[in-house]
Amino acid sequence: KQEVTQIPAALSVPEGENLVLNCSFTDSAIYNLQWFRQDPGKGLTSLLLIQSSQREQTSGRLNASLDKSSGRSTLYIAASQPGDSATYLCAVMGGGSNYKLTFGKGTLLTVNP
């Protein structure tokens, strides 16, 4: 059974700092990995989608990497801003005929002005 772990559970940084969020998964037979952002009481907003054949994806100040063989992904946020404060969730889509997503518990990020 696929398990996804996110470290740290919570992170507080001053504005302007570069930061890295970590995600690990136990079964490397994945189709893709998706990073989401969730604001309090809201749904999930997709940030980046990395296919199993890709090493990284970039969108603005966000960069996500994937090392499928070691079961790891990182989300790098450059020059953090208070508006980046949210919970960040990592999810993997399993291999075979399994198109279900398995989620980590998330990292709660607070960027202080």
Q: Name the residue nearer to another protein (CB basis): 21 or 89.
A: 89
Tokens 């907003």 locate to 45
Q: Which is nearer to another protein, 40 or 60 (CB)?
A: 40
Residue 83 contacts another protein per CB under 8 A: no
The residue assigned the tokens 């208070």 is 82
Rounded CA-CA distance 36/51 in Å is 15
By CB under 8 A, what part of segment 2-61 binds another protein? 31-32, 34, 36, 41-46, 49, 51
One-letter identity of residue 88: Y
Helix, coil or strand: residue 68: helix
Residue 97, amino acid: S
What does the binding site for another protein look like in residue numbers (CB under 8 A)?
Answer: 31-32, 34, 36, 41-46, 49, 51, 89, 91, 93, 99-101, 103-106
